Every structure is written in C-alpha cells, then in structure tokens.
Amino acid sequence: KVPVAGMLDPGYLEKRAKLISPDKSMGRARPGVPAGVKPDIKPKAEKEEEKGLSTSHLVVVDKDGNTASMTTSIAMAFGSRLMVDGFMLNNQLTDFAFRPSRDGRPVANRAAAGKRPRSSMSPTIVLDGAGKMVLAVGSPGGGRIIGYVAKTLIAALDWKMTMQEAIDLPNFVNRNGTTDLEKGTLLEALKPALEAKGGKVNIRLLVSGLHGVRVTPEGLEGGADRRREGVALGD
C-alpha cells in the first residue's frame, strides 16, 4: 500500500527539501521514511536498464472528456522472443530484482506470487479540484520515464507552456547518481557548472516519446514528441 498521507505530509516534505542545496551536489540521496512505512526491507532499487524502442504511449480524449493515458511495453527488444497470434509476448518479469535478498535482508522488488514488478511507467492524468481533466501525458523511456513526464508537467502547469512546447523542452534526468543532459541541446552548456558543484554529468541522447493532451479555454491541445515517431490529431 502506498503511504500517500505520509509522503505528502508537509513536515516530511520540508525535511526532504532541506537536503537540496543550490550550491552543492548531495551526491546520492538517502531514501526517506514517510509515516506508514516500515523500513524492514532493503530500500535501494536495482537500476532499471534501458529497453530499446519497445515501449509506446498514447493519450486519447473524446468529446465528452473521457480520457485514457496508456503506456504499453514488451520490455526488451522483441520481448520474450515468443510470438502468439502475430504479436510478441513481453518479458516484464525481468523488471523484478534477480536477487531476492542482499546482506540477509529481503529486496522489495523480489519476485513473489501475486506481485507486480517495479516499473517506471508513468501514464498520468491531472485533475482539478472538481475532478475535471486538466492534462494527460506519458512517455516511453525505461528508467528515465519519470524524469521525462515530470519535466513536461512542470513546464505545462507551472511555466504555462503549450503542450508541444513542454514536450519539446530539452530532457534532463538524474536517477540518484549521474545527471544526464540531452545531447545537442542548450543544456550541454550546464555541464561545467554542475560539475563544479560536485555533480557527475553525462551528455547523451535522451529519446523520450512524450504524448500529451491538455484542456484550454479554446478546447483540447495536443502535443507529440519529435524525438520519435508520433503525431497529435483531433477532429
């Protein structure tokens, strides 16, 4: 069960925010323990590897406002290498930790009956206080999906960019270690300054596949990632 109340508690959030300094890299962040969590398992997750271009995302909104935000994946390229009725079967079981325990403590993402493996897939629908859809978005990208989606949400909701502008922004992701900056973008210029603050920085391709729809006073506004094949269409 996700401890939502503990994770959103103002005191807990303030404590976590104090770990962040604009002047110096914290290196690797230690996991927090919000109220409702029993720290009786090994918290560190194994790195989720890139899985190639085997994941897709789509967003659909109809004339009545019904919304679907769906990420689908066969995990590694060609999945399990098995085909049934013309489609490939996934190998999502590889998202479980291969080692069930470390140092005598069970790993949270160990395989077990009835469990779903840890995943970074983040199909997102944002609602307003009245429960109406404001924005829907998602992306492929393995362990970097969370960063891609977070960037787009902040740009669209906080910075008031259009859906396409938010998607087009350069990608930057840190998975509790090295900061990845998107190759061939203006973000490359940040590398020296970030390294001067003690951070590890890598310039690389960050091939998101973001697709999103948002509600505006004029109607629905869509956006599709130019980094992959994708299109935004509407009636």
Q: Which helix (H) or strand (E) holds 10?
A: helix 10-17
Percentage of the chain modeled with pLDDT above 90: 65
d(CA 38, CA 41): 8
Task: Report yes or no: 35 and 10 within 8 Å, Cβ to Cβ.
Answer: no
pLDDT at 18 over 70: yes
pLDDT at 234 over 60: yes
User: Can you give the pLDDT at residue 73?
Assistant: 87
**In the predicted model, what is the mean pLDDT of the chain?**
91
pLDDT at 44 over 60: no
d(CA 66, CA 194): 43
pLDDT at 203 over 90: yes
Q: Catalogue the active-site residues.
A: 55
pLDDT at 40 over 80: no
Instruction: Supply angle C-alpha 221, 70, 85, rounded to 5.
Output: 130
| Residues 6+ positions from 159 with CB-CB distance below 8 Å | 166
Q: How confident is the model at residue 6 (pLDDT cuts 50, 70, 90)?
A: very high
Question: Per CATH, which fold does 120-171+206-235 belong to?
Answer: Glutamine Phosphoribosylpyrophosphate, subunit 1, domain 1 (3.60.20)
User: Can you give the pLDDT at residue 42?
Assistant: 55
User: Can you give the pLDDT at residue 164?
Assistant: 98
Q: How confident is the model at residue 232 (pLDDT cuts 50, 70, 90)?
A: very high
Residues of the chain with CATH 3.60.20.40: 120-171+206-235
- Which residues does residue 57 pair with via DSSP β-bridges, in sequence order? 71
pLDDT at 87 over 90: no
